[in-house]
Amino acid sequence: MHGMLQSFLETEISHQDYYDGIISFIYSVNIRSGEYECNQFIVKKMDLLNFIIYEEYEINQKREIHYSFSIYKNKLIKAINDYAKKQGLLIRDFDWTRQQ
């Protein structure tokens, strides 16, 4: 999981706009379940606390998922925010999502 999480962070948490969209989706209590389509990865919200992250491929017009990992909300937020901070991005908290 660690290698795939690092790949997700490097690919998807590269610009403020990308970070804002992903973190807003994760924080949102109005989205109980669903998918957020990033550049390369999909973040699937199973419920308010559990997420699956995976790369999706289309092969012969069929959707294929080769690798995925599950992660708890707080651990995902911490990983994203720690990485975003190292990239010099503005870190958003839960209250920011209610002000949008």
Q: What is the pLDDT of residue 2?
A: 77
On average, the pLDDT of the chain sits at: 92
For each of the domains in the chain, give its residue range(s) and CATH number, in order of start: 2-95 (2.30.31)
Q: Cβ distance 45 to 25 under 8 Å?
A: yes
pLDDT tops 90 at residue 1: no
Tens of pLDDT, residues 16-59: 999 999 999 999 988 999 999 999 999 999 999 999 999 988 88
Bridge partners (DSSP) of residue 41 are 55
Lowest mean pLDDT among 9-18, 44-53, 87-96: 87-96
Which DSSP letter does residue 1 get?
Answer: -
